[in-house]
Amino acid sequence: MVLAELGGSISRALQKMSNATIIDEKVLGECLNEITRALMQSDVKFEMIRDMMANIKRIVNLEDLAAGHNKRRIIQQFGLFIASPCSTALHLKSLILINLAIEHKANERVTNRIRASTTSTSSSNDLLPQLPSIPYTNPVEPVTAHVIDLDLVGAHRIVHDDLVAYLVATAPLLRYGSVIASSSRSSGRIFEVAVFNELCKMMDPGKPSFSPKKGKSCVVMFVGLQGSGKTTTCTKYAYYHQKKGFKPALVCADTFRAGAFDQLKQNATKAKIPFYGSYMESDPVKIAAEGVERFKKENNDLIIVDTSGRHMQEAALFEEMRQVSEATKPDLVIFVMDGSIGQMAFAQSQAFKQSVPVGAVIVTKMDGHAKGGGALSAVAATKSPVIFIGTGEHMDEFEVFDVKPFVSRLLGMGDWSGFMDK
Amino acid sequence: MFQSISGNSVLEKSDLQPALKALKDRLMTKNVAEEIAEKLCESVAASLEGKKLGSFTRISSTVQAAMEEALLRILTPKRSIDILRDVHAAKEQGKPYVIVFVGVNGVGKSTNLAKVAYWLLQHEISVMLAACDTFRSGAVEQLRTHARRLQIPIFEKGYEKDPAIVAKEAIQEASRNKSDVVLVDTAGRMQDNEPLMRALSKLINLNNPDLVLFVGEALVGNDAVDQLSKFNQKLADLSAVPTARLIDGILLTKFDTIDDKVGAALSMVYISGAPVMFVGCGQSYTDLKKLNVKSIVKTLLK
Ligand SMILES: Nc1nc2c(ncn2[C@@H]2O[C@H](COP(=O)(O)OP(=O)(O)OP(=O)(O)O)[C@@H](O)[C@H]2O)c(=O)[nH]1
Ligand SMILES: Nc1nc2c(ncn2[C@@H]2O[C@H](COP(=O)(O)OP(=O)(O)OP(=O)(O)O)[C@@H](O)[C@H]2O)c(=O)[nH]1
Ligand SMILES: [Mg+2]
Ligand SMILES: [Mg+2]
């Protein structure tokens, strides 16, 4: 599995931390070191790891925050709430109220009042007129993660980010009826969620990529470093869509690499996909334009343009790529990246993004041993999501990639894709 | 950056830690694999612990000097292989000198094989290519194109043939037509793909080449360690003969794409003990160089 080893190391580190009887600076520090090491071994860019660690520390180290004192107390109160014997739904409401209070910079007096009324077992519904009611059948039955459904977060935007993290973290505890006994415990959970969020942030650029529509002509251009797997992946991408009912076509705009046209031709023939290219013409811009025009006429709805490998140190090669892009006006530019790439991943992918409008990333050769952390750099540098991964040399060794369920699985947190949607 | 300790204090591990941590981080930003950076720092620590620090010497510069020494030692080849000399020796025995290019997918085996052919031609050595990547689409045509451009013979049997047999026939053909060198192209393969590694082991066992050249790209990160150790390990484990042939040398490609992140060179040499025999630094025939150890060390520590 992609990045699975990284996931394993991170969740082991987190597990070790949460098993500790007292979670103090030292325990958190050790955990961070282990996570840093796991990320380093997966080829995540050094500077990104450093920033990620700083962010996590910032979130966990409550005292450093401007609203520090208040928040710290509130977090401790959370502990109290959860431990107190009232219904789970009530906890939630009170949590949300406290968040409201924070949002509105309510003073401590208000927060205390809210606390006073919500901790009592009497109904506090009058305090919650503006909140949607939380569906629960039996007030003492633990609220499941799905009931919390961050609806409240997404739709009403009333919960402070860090506290959303806290809510999500405590959801499984609520579900299993556990309690949080001390504020030290909760800082452990916050920490865990901070890690989760930082990973999501790294992997998820926050916007989906263009996806082709059947029957509506579109052009997809593949770019990337030499030997990253563009030509192979072009065919895989075409074949994948062909099986879904698209009418793909392949254009070979690589006039440089020896045997490039033969490679594409043989792949396309195997997959029974029409192709265009030339042994004589040496101008990739011309071929690309001709190919696209031809397949538009033939009503192919997915026209895929393969280009030569290139790298940022050769300005002329980037200029050529820019021209191919200009001539073909692609709806989507896909950056293809080798999963074993190291610390150059960020600079190279950023350079591609600066020349052509990269909109998606495909990571190849994930059938090997590489942990694929370079993908994180590519996502950050291109602000584009990973949409597929290549898992072998054969046409069908190709998997759709979706980041959020992936990151949560990675951390052994179950599939929480619904929750993390903003 | 770090506090200087004056006087003749004895270095303890804890004194060294901050400087070593900074050095490890620097190596990793230069794309040295984490495991290798860690090991290097440990050995530098071991070499310095208990030593006396000269007056007014900074710990950081002491650590840096020890690291520089270690890097030079690691990167300077222990066994020297002189291909040109060995080619002439083989020629005198009436045998072609055989080089097999191996490595994972897309690193530049075929392209750099063609560059080595060009380099040999410059030294008035006759070369024949053997198209033993019988798997990847276009691989045979790719090699044919190079053979045509370089005007040298190529031995090919199309696709889906057993590459070990194609290589054997190619070498026989080279003996007949008196080629000095046979350059054997092989398909890219992932280091833990057992069937493909077995096929490679068969090719090497059957043909006992003069040189097994591992082609690795300078872009690779932590996987460099795994690639080299597994290629060696599989070649040893899967060999049918008692004395298995392992990697003799390294051809480091795409050196033009990495700026100052030269760490893969160190990871590869450290883990395999094999020397970097060539460095590929571009896509044309003349883009083949020798490794400059001093400049690598300097870049790594900068
Ligand atoms: N194992 C494995 N090999 C792959 C994968 N994707 C591509 N490859 C192999 O990687 C090598 C390079 O792939 P190409 O498609 O030729 O790469 P490219 O980016 O088009 O190369 P240039 O056009 O020369 O820049 C070939 O041997 C492919 O078979 C993958 O997901 N897994
Ligand atoms: N920039 C740069 N590109 C290189 C270098 N060496 C090879 N390439 C490019 O890398 C790509 C892959 O090269 P190939 O020689 O086909 O790689 P391979 O290892 O034979 O690939 P497979 O046989 O598919 O595993 C091509 O586009 C080459 O032009 C180099 O030193 N620098
Ligand atoms: Mg290609
Ligand atoms: Mg090849």
Determine the residue of chain B that is closest to A391 in CA distance: B190
Q: Which residues contact B281 (CB under 8 A, 6 or more apart)?
A: B254, B255, B256, B287, B288, B289
pLDDT at B105: 98
Please tell me whether residue B185 adopts helix, strand or coil conformation.
Answer: strand
Question: How many contacts does A have with B, using Cβ atoms within 8 A?
Answer: 146
Q: Indicate yes or no: CB of B105 within 8 angstroms of CB of A343.
A: no
- How far is A29 from A319, CA to CA, in rounded Å? 46
Question: Distance from the CA of B178 to the center of ligand 4, in angstroms?
Answer: 25
Provide DSSP, A72-108. Answer: HHHHHHHHHHHHSSS-HHHHHHHHHHHHHHHHTT--H
Question: Is the CB of A136 inside 8 Å of chain B's CB atoms?
Answer: no
Question: Is the CB of A68 inside 8 Å of chain B's CB atoms?
Answer: no
- How far is A363 from A374, CA to CA, in rounded Å? 9
Count of C-beta atoms within a 10 Å radius of residue A244: 11
**CA distances for A156 relative to A131, A160, A342, B4, B212, angstroms:** 9, 11, 42, 56, 65
Instruction: Answer whether residue B16 shows pLDDT above 60.
Output: yes
Q: Pick from A419, A344, A146: which is nearest to B31 by CA?
A: A344
H or E element: which one contains B240?
Answer: none
- How far is A199 from A261, CA to CA, in rounded Å? 39
Mean pLDDT, range B57-73, rounded to an integer:
92
Scanning A333-392 for CB atoms below 8 A from B yields 338, 340-345, 347-348, 365, 367-371, 373-374
Q: Pick from B188, B134, B201: which is nearest to A392 by CA?
A: B188
Half-sphere exposure of A25 (CA within 13 A, CB side): 4
What structural domains does chain B harbor?
A: 4-75 (no CATH), 83-301 (3.40.50.300)
Atom of ligand 2 nearest to the CA of A311: 1
Give the number of residues written for chain A: 422
Count of C-beta atoms within a 10 Å radius of residue B155: 23
User: Token pair of B151, please?
Assistant: 């005007």
Q: Are residues B144 and B131 in contact, defined by beta-carbon separation less than 8 angstroms?
A: yes
pLDDT at A105: 40
Q: Which residues contact A166 (CB under 8 A, 6 or more apart)?
A: A75, A78, A186, A189, A190, A193
Ligand 1: residues within 6 Å at CB?
A: A 224, 226-233, 254, 257, 260, 308-309, 364-365, 367, 390-393; B 105-106, 136, 188, 190
Residue A133: exposure state from Cβ atoms within 10 A (0-12, 13-18, ≥19): exposed
- How far is B257 from B249, CA to CA, in rounded Å? 22
Task: Report, at the CATH architecture level, how domain A218-402 is classified.
Answer: 3-Layer(aba) Sandwich (3.40)
- Beta-bridged to residue A142, according to DSSP, are none
Atom of ligand 1 nearest to the CA of A260: 23
- How far is B137 from B135, CA to CA, in rounded Å? 6
H or E element: which one contains B97?
Answer: strand B97-102
CA A66 to chain B, closest CA, distance in angstroms equals: 30
- How far is A229 from A362, CA to CA, in rounded Å? 9
Q: Pick from A224, A222, A200, A220: which is nearest to A210 by CA?
A: A220
> Which of the 8 DSSP states describes residue A126?
G
pLDDT at A206: 75
Helices B223-237, B263-272: axis angle to 10 degrees equals: 30
Give the ipTM of the model, two decimals please: 0.96
What's the whole-number average pLDDT of chain B? 94
pLDDT at A414: 46
Q: Indicate yes or no: CB of A343 within 8 angstroms of CB of B29.
A: yes
**For the domain A1-203, what is the CATH superfamily, name and number?**
SRP54, nucleotide-binding domain (1.20.120.140)
Q: How confident is the model at residue B162 (pLDDT cuts 50, 70, 90)?
A: very high
Q: Considering only the beta carbons, identify the residue of B137, B149, B258 that sits closest to A263.
A: B137
Q: Which protein residues have a CB closer than 5 Å to ligand 3 (ion)? A: A 230-231
Q: Are residues A342 and B222 in contact, defined by beta-carbon separation less than 8 angstroms?
A: yes
Please tell me whether residue A407 adopts helix, strand or coil conformation.
Answer: helix
For ligand 2, say whether the CB of B188 is within 6 Å of any of its atoms: yes
- Using CA atoms of A148, A154, A159, A165 in order, give the dihedral in degrees to the nearest 10: 60
Which residues does chain A have with pLDDT short of 50?
1-2, 62-94, 96-186, 414-422
Interface test with A, best of B229, B231, B283, B287 (most A CBs within 10 A): B283
Q: How far apart are the first and last CA of chain B?
A: 15
Please tell me whether residue A252 adopts helix, strand or coil conformation.
Answer: strand
Residues of chain A positioned with their CB less than 8 A from the CB of B261: 342-344
Determine the residue of chain B that is closest to A317 in CA distance: B283
Q: Which protein residues have a CB closer than 5 Å to ligand 4 (ion)? A: B 109-110
Q: How confident is the model at residue B153 (pLDDT cuts 50, 70, 90)?
A: very high
Interface test with B, best of A46, A337, A344 (most B CBs within 10 A): A344
| Degrees, nearest 5: CA angle B3-B7-B10 | 80
pLDDT at A297: 97
Question: Nearest residue CA, atom 6 of ligand 1?
Answer: A229
- How far is A250 from A268, CA to CA, in rounded Å? 7
For ligand 2, say whether the CB of B134 is within 6 Å of any of its atoms: no
Please tell me whether residue A304 adopts helix, strand or coil conformation.
Answer: strand
Helical H segments across B151-193, by residue range: 163-176
Helices B293-301, B59-75: axis angle to 10 degrees equals: 150
User: Token pair of B39, please?
Assistant: 């090991």
- How far is B83 from A259, CA to CA, in rounded Å? 29
- Beta-bridged to residue B161, according to DSSP, are none
For residue B112, give the ligand nearest its CA. 2
Mean pLDDT, range B108-131, rounded to an integer:
98
- How far is B281 from B218, CA to CA, in rounded Å? 10
Domain-wise residue ranges, chain A: 1-203, 218-402
User: Token pair of B67, please?
Assistant: 């690291």
Residues of chain A positioned with their CB less than 8 A from the CB of B226: 369-370
Residues of chain A positioned with their CB less than 8 A from the CB of B105: 227, 229, 365, 393
pLDDT at A197: 66
pLDDT at A182: 28
Residue with tokens 């180290």: A61
Q: Considering only the beta carbons, identify the residue of A257, A312, A344 that sits closest to B261.
A: A344
Determine the residue of chain A that is closest to B141 in CA distance: A259
Q: Considering only the beta carbons, identify the residue of A266, A267, A343 that sits closest to B221.
A: A343
pLDDT at A61: 54
- How far is B35 from B37, CA to CA, in rounded Å? 6
CA A287 to chain B, closest CA, distance in angstroms equals: 19
